[in-house]
Structure 1
Amino acid sequence: MLVLLPAVARADTTSVQTTWRLLDYVAVDYGGAVHDGRVISQAEYAEMLEFTDSAAANIAALPPKGARAQLVADAKRLKAAVVAKESPREVARQARSVAAALLNAYPVPLAPARSPDLARGATLYGQNCASCHGMSGDGRGPDAARLDPPPIAFSDAARARERSVFGLYQVIEQGLDGTAMQSFADLPAADRWALAFYSGRFAFRDTTQGERIWQSDAGVRRLVPDMPTLTAMTPAALGAKIGQPEADAVMAYLRANPQAVTGSGAGSLALARERLEQSFAAYAAGKRQQAGELALSAYLDGFEPLEPLLASRDGALMARIETAMGAVRAAIQKGAPVAEVRHEISALDTLFTDAEQVLAPEQASSTSAFVGALTILLREGLEALLVVIAIVAFLRKAERPEALRYVHAGWVAALAAGGLTWALATYAIGVSGASRELTEGFGSLLAAVILLSVGIWMHGKSQSLIRN
């Protein structure tokens, strides 16, 4: 059983993914087969019939579940819609509905584990895709003329609006039967996701307007709260909710900057927002303790790591956000009405938008970053240098030159210990959330004790020297 179960699980996952891809293909390409109730491409229409048949058969062969019978019935209705040559809009709607219900009943991985590397995606596209699809995604690569059917033009906005990043990922992983599109399953999953995101950018270029909408409209951010939603959502689906031009712009921005919805890393306003929404959901469900823990995590894991940078650019805004996050936690702790907690979180979301603008890369230059870091190093270094100079001066005044070697050994050891601590904190130990707060607190207390002890010792020795 231990040997067979993983193989069975992989088979189920592959079958679900293949079926989802068939449904996605029907939703996207049916418009190229039927128009106004007439078949305009017999080859394309034959594919639509074949794919809907295969999807229904695959669903019927899936492991028994309560939802399977309904899925089979919906798949048969989709096939009937294709046979009846119904409108592309209606067929696409039914295909999307079956695909969504399929993933709800038989979940499979829909999103990358971390934000995709678009630079890596560009490299992979140039190496594996440009010869057919063209460097600009127009489907006119050097090898395109000899391919039948011709390669897809990723820059075709009408078709791209019906295509999700997950759909692209599926084709990259499994290939496309009956075409020259081969499987790239030998690539690591992270590379396949990077390639999917990069390929999904060609039809949508207006990242500037998309960024403005994303940062200014909390409602849009709630529509795309996380990476699974981004990878599964088509521009057309988003357009039905916010308007197609706006959806195209938002998708252009998010596919070029997927980290905007990534909440997995510490030190992220996206993570803070995600935790606060989870906190509100828990609070509305009556889970007050869980809501409090999530609200605290929104601060410790999401916002607190950004405090130093935000404080250096807008200290007043940083203080307002701290106060607002405290107000959210206080409202949860005292059992405030749900509407009041919602109001506090909405006010905080507005402050987060202001913080995003302040923290934007274009707001900082390499010169300002260098000067800021240099100022801290000079200040801390000067303090340490003064202490060492005072000790050296004291020893020379006391005519104890033999003790100087211990002083020099001490500051050299301090430099080595500092380097070792940095290496451990960076590469060996993960410090985040409450652990980071405790580490900073105990570190500050230890530093204060050491400085106080050295000061008392030096004062006592100086008085002894004066008396002698």
Structure 2
Amino acid sequence: MPCIISYKTIRNLVISFFVSGLCSTITFSQNLPDKNNSTDVLTFHARTLINLLDYVSQDYGRAVANGKVINANEYSEMIDFTTESASLFDSITLKVNINNKNQINQQLSALLISIRHKKSKEEIATTAQQIKIQLIQLNLIDISPEQYPDVTQGKQIFLASCQSCHGTYGAADGPLSKSYNPPPVNFQNDSLMQLISPLQVFNTARLGVRGTGMRAFNELSDKELWNVAFYIKSLRFQNKLSAQQDSLNKEYNRIKSFISLSDIAHLSDKELKQKVQSQSELTIAAIRLHQNGMGNNSFEAANNYLNDALIFYTNGNSAAAEEKALYAYLEGIEPYEQQLNAVDNSIVSELENKMNDVRSAIKNKKDEREVEQKISDAKVSINKAKILLGEQTYSFWFSFFVSLSILLREGLEAVLIIITILSLLKSLQANSAIRWVHGGWMAAVGIGIASWFFTGWLISFGAQNRELMEAFGAMVAVIILVYVGFWLHKKTEAKKWKEFIEGKIVKMLDQGKLFTLAFMSFIVVFREAFESVLFLSSMQLQVDDKSRPGIWVGSLAAICIITLIANLLLRFSAKIPIRKLFQYSAIIIMILSVVLAGQSVHAFQESGWVAVTSVRLNFHSSILGIYPTIETYLAQFIVLVISVTLWFYGVKSDTKDKLR
């Protein structure tokens, strides 16, 4: 029985599947909760409400003193802000079920009455802050960044966007400062800035301030705004205490166990002093001038996401908890997998297992204590990884070996597939087809190199969407390889060789229908090139100028090794009889399809599209596509069964042809 799957059918099938997969990825990414977008109505209302309460607690003293109005405009503003706060809270309660709604409503009413009765600024500030704390505990907005902000990048944004009004050092002496009434805030004012938290700076920059020159910076992401907020909070210490770096480091190490990133983000300097029980300015300077070391930002993000996941889960929101647990891996662990592999590859599988356990416990709605224990176990592994990278010096040779291992790992798999196809075409002397294959992988490499210059966009594209691209790419490759393996096996009979070469290949070359060859070589190389660029560009941001050449030398060495291996394989394949070459190639391609099936499902799991059901097996090999989950095992088993079935189908067809 002849094979009924035509070249045109498989080509159209693959193109349709790839396009639909890519469209699904893009559509899904547009529907994902955007952590960098604060324009959502509920988020906007909650953030505005918290910001208004901050203004009331801090600015009321400029409106009222000793029971009398000292500034009519400021006093009117306090009344308006408090009235609007109550209105905003009412709008929030229409969208979210809040258990202590009546209590907060009563407190807002009491605050307005106290302002109308011109109570003391201490009483007003205390009431406003109590309401604010209750609102923060509702988890309506992110009150802290995902990872420790980069003050250096915050400075660059400040100089580009804020300097014209606030001045180079934040002293409200910029070129445009005199044109605004009221004038810009002076960030060097100690008495003012000790009462302002980074969260308030963030909210002000996100929302703007009505009636002033302070506009909303909607063009900046949340990450960029947090960078700016932390930089602004460091300004008053930059010239005073920044020279005492050793003392600052010692002081930060002394008190860091008493505070979290959330504390640093939403507490003012005055509140931080109470938190760490220290009145020393050195303590606050150590906190505000602190910058995290290599890899710590990412692991800090993972811990923060896990904390959020536990809060959401205990509050009955398992969907949000599962999402936070997913991002804990994508944003916190995944960016450093390759570096961890170079230091201790066992920690990577440990982290993946622990993070999968957290997601499984949340998804299966386990007891709160069990989820808390799973999260605690995951944090232990995260801290272990943090220590491993923290102790690792990114020397020239370490950078060299990491980049070398990354490119070899990603490149050899693709090279094996391409060389297998090229060997077959070379044995058939199909020079035109060979050029199409070369064109496919060269285009993939070219796009990979070009993407190096757009790594900022690739990173902002999100780890989840990058995993989806890799997953769909691997799935397309599986479909192609299963078909090609079956096709190769069908052509191993000498009688069919002549018919195939004289009919199919010649006809294909005449019609120019070689797109499938180019497309296949493009897909298998592009997914590896794309991932390699992401890893190397991320690593380049982490090393210093002395170590950075190690990345390039390691990459060049890997390319040389891959090129050498490719040439040796091509020469070796030329000595194998054509029929045997087709048989060996069919086996190799079928094995690779099973490997890619595991990698594809694993990538879907990492992106949150496929569930994770862990299996208590210690064996884990990303190179072989073997991961200890039922879903990856099942995918590989299905592809293996399909491959074996098609193999025996081909043998049966050959037997029937011989009998004829």
Do the aligned partners of 2:168 and 2:174 also contact (CA within 8 Å) in 1?
A: yes
Query: Are positions 1:95 and 2:134 aligned together?
Result: no
Residue matched to 1:182: 213
- State the shift of 1:278 in Å: 5.0
Which one of the candidate residues 260, 278, 282 is aligned to 1:221? 260
Do the aligned partners of 1:116 and 1:190 also contact (CA within 8 Å) in 2?
A: no
Distance 1:138 1:110, change over 3 A: same
> What's the RMSD between the two structures over aligned residues?
6.1
Alignment of 1:226-241 (within 5 A): 230=265, 232-241=266-275
Distance 1:108 1:143, change over 3 A: same
Residue matched to 2:634: none
* Aligned equivalents of 1:338, 1:185: Cα separation in 2: 40
Residue matched to 1:55: 81
Do the aligned partners of 1:269 and 1:352 also contact (CA within 8 Å) in 2?
A: yes
Residue matched to 1:461: 578
Do the aligned partners of 2:208 and 2:216 also contact (CA within 8 Å) in 1?
A: yes
Residue matched to 2:54: 24
* Aligned equivalents of 2:317, 2:44: Cα separation in 1: 37
| TM-score (norm. length: structure 1) | 0.61
Do the aligned partners of 1:392 and 1:404 also contact (CA within 8 Å) in 2?
A: no
Alpha-carbon displacement from aligned partner over 1:352-407 (angstroms, at most 9, x marks no partner): 234335456994357744553345546776888899899999999x8x8x545544
Query: Are positions 1:74 and 2:104 aligned together?
Result: no
Alpha-carbon displacement from aligned partner over 1:327-370 (angstroms, at most 9, x marks no partner): 54676689876445423422321332343354569943577445
Which one of the candidate residues 199, 211, 229 is aligned to 2:232? 199
Alpha-carbon displacement from aligned partner over 1:253-273 (angstroms, at most 9, x marks no partner): 48x99x988xxxxxx545543
* Aligned equivalents of 2:255, 2:379: Cα separation in 1: 10
Distance 1:214 1:275, change over 3 A: farther
Bigger relative contact order, structure 1 or 2 (CA pairs below 8 A, ≥6 apart): 2
Question: 2:379 is matched by which residue type in structure 1?
Answer: D
* Aligned equivalents of 1:185, 1:392: Cα separation in 2: 57
Question: 2:403 is matched by which residue type in structure 1?
Answer: A
Do the aligned partners of 1:283 and 1:338 also contact (CA within 8 Å) in 2?
A: yes
- State the shift of 1:311 in Å: 1.0
Question: 1:310 is matched by which residue type in structure 2?
Answer: L
Residue matched to 1:6: none
* Aligned equivalents of 1:142, 1:312: Cα separation in 2: 51
Do the aligned partners of 2:252 and 2:286 also contact (CA within 8 Å) in 1?
A: no
Distance 1:340 1:216, change over 3 A: farther
- Farther off after superposition, 311-320 or 421-430: 421-430
Do the aligned partners of 2:151 and 2:230 also contact (CA within 8 Å) in 1?
A: yes
* Aligned equivalents of 2:350, 2:164: Cα separation in 1: 53
Distance 1:412 1:273, change over 3 A: same
- Name structure 1 gaps, 5 residues minimum: 1-8, 262-267
Alpha-carbon displacement from aligned partner over 1:42-95 (angstroms, at most 9, x marks no partner): 96x666644433434545776967655641322222454xx45x4x55443233
| TM-score (norm. length: structure 2) | 0.47
Alpha-carbon displacement from aligned partner over 1:142-185 (angstroms, at most 9, x marks no partner): 787999987543133442231134533565554575xxx52334
* Aligned equivalents of 1:16, 1:295: Cα separation in 2: 24
- Name structure 2 gaps, 5 residues minimum: 1-38, 92-101, 493-572, 582-660
- Residue-pair matches, total: 428
Do the aligned partners of 1:282 and 1:290 also contact (CA within 8 Å) in 2?
A: yes
Query: Are positions 1:364 and 2:398 aligned together?
Result: no
Distance 1:453 1:298, change over 3 A: farther
- State the shift of 1:321 in Å: 2.4
Question: 1:318 is matched by which residue type in structure 2?
Answer: V
Identity %: 23
Alignment of 1:256-275 (within 5 A): 268-269=298-299, 272-275=302-305
- State the shift of 1:202 in Å: 1.1
* Aligned equivalents of 1:363, 1:380: Cα separation in 2: 24
